[in-house]
Amino acid sequence: MARMKFLCDADRCIECNACVTACKNEHEVPWGINRRRVVTINDGKPGERSVSMACMHCTDAPCAAVCPVNCFYTTADGVVLHSKDLCIGCGYCFYACPFGAPQYPKVGNFGSRGKMDKCTYCAGGPEADGSKEEYEKYGANRLAEGKLPLCAEMCSTKSLLAGDGEIIAQIYKERVMKRGYGSGAWGWKTAYRESIES
């Protein structure tokens, strides 16, 4: 089985935010929730870099480890998903996540959190693949249709790569070899305990 990962080639990202828009549209993500975002570091200064970030689907995921009700599970493809039926909206996964991936719709008073929402790697949730219930809770299940996450698929500069970890790492290494530089796979050390050195 493949081990699905995301890789953002920061030397290619032009901060067009197409990945953010594609994600919101594909999954009809409600207002106030962003499963993916583009962060620009040193904006307007020399050495500025933009990185597209969402749930990295970590190895030994911290969110799953700290969840009080154990609502997370990892699919055979290495995608970290969760059940909104089990989630109680406590916010613990948000404290543990290094990438700020978990999001909570604000429901009721006192800033109380609703069921957590995050990037599903376009792989839906525990409901039947492609079912209406799955779409309403988690959004589209492109992986079940044999497609990759839409954010990476429609990245205009092919900065954001999605797919089997070894294959996208290979693609990135070849790029770095050819152009002679690369700022590394952002977040890989934290998410997968490995880094791609050029």
Partner 1 sequence: MSSFGRVIRLAIGAWALLLLITAAPAPSLAQQINPTASSVNERQLLQEADRIQGRVSIPDQRSSVLMQPAGREWREFRNVVLRWIGGVAIVGMMAVLVIFYLTRGMVRLESGRSGRTIVRFDTFERFVHWMTATCFIILAISGLNITFGRPVLLPLIGFEAFSEWSQWAKYAHNYLSFPFTIGVVVIFLMWIGGNIPNKVDVAWIRRGGGIVGHDHPPAYRFNAGQKMIYWIVVIGGGLVAVTGYQLMFPFYVTGIEGMQLAQIVHSVVAVLFVATMIAHIYIGTIGMEGAFEAMGSGEVDVNWAREHHSLWLDQQMARTGPGGSQTQPANAAAE
Residues that bind partner 1 (CB under 8 A): 10-11, 15, 17, 20, 32, 34, 37-43, 46-51, 53, 62, 65-71, 85-92, 94-100, 104, 110-113, 180-184, 186-187, 189-190
Least gap, CB of 146 to partner 1 (angstroms): 30
Least gap, CB of 135 to partner 1 (angstroms): 22
105, 92 contact by CB (below 8 A) = no
Least gap, CB of 83 to partner 1 (angstroms): 8
Report the residue number, 131 or 190, with the smaller CB distance to partner 1.
190
For residue 74, the number of C-alpha atoms closer than 13 Å in the C-beta half-sphere is: 18
23, 151 contact by CB (below 8 A) = yes
Report the residue number, 2 or 41, with the smaller CB distance to partner 1.
41
Instruction: Select from 85, 95, 89 the least CA-distant residue to 116.
Output: 89
Instruction: Select from 45, 87, 40, 37 the least CA-distant residue to 67.
Output: 87
In b/e form, how buried is each residue of 126-135, taking b as 16+ CB within 10 angstroms? bbeeeeeebb
Report the residue number, 20 or 143, with the smaller CB distance to partner 1.
20
Report the residue number, 102 or 143, with the smaller CB distance to partner 1.
102
Structure tokens at 25: 């549209």
Report the residue number, 35 or 143, with the smaller CB distance to partner 1.
35
Q: Which residues pair with 38 in a beta bridge?
A: 52
Least gap, CB of 115 to partner 1 (angstroms): 10
Least gap, CB of 123 to partner 1 (angstroms): 20
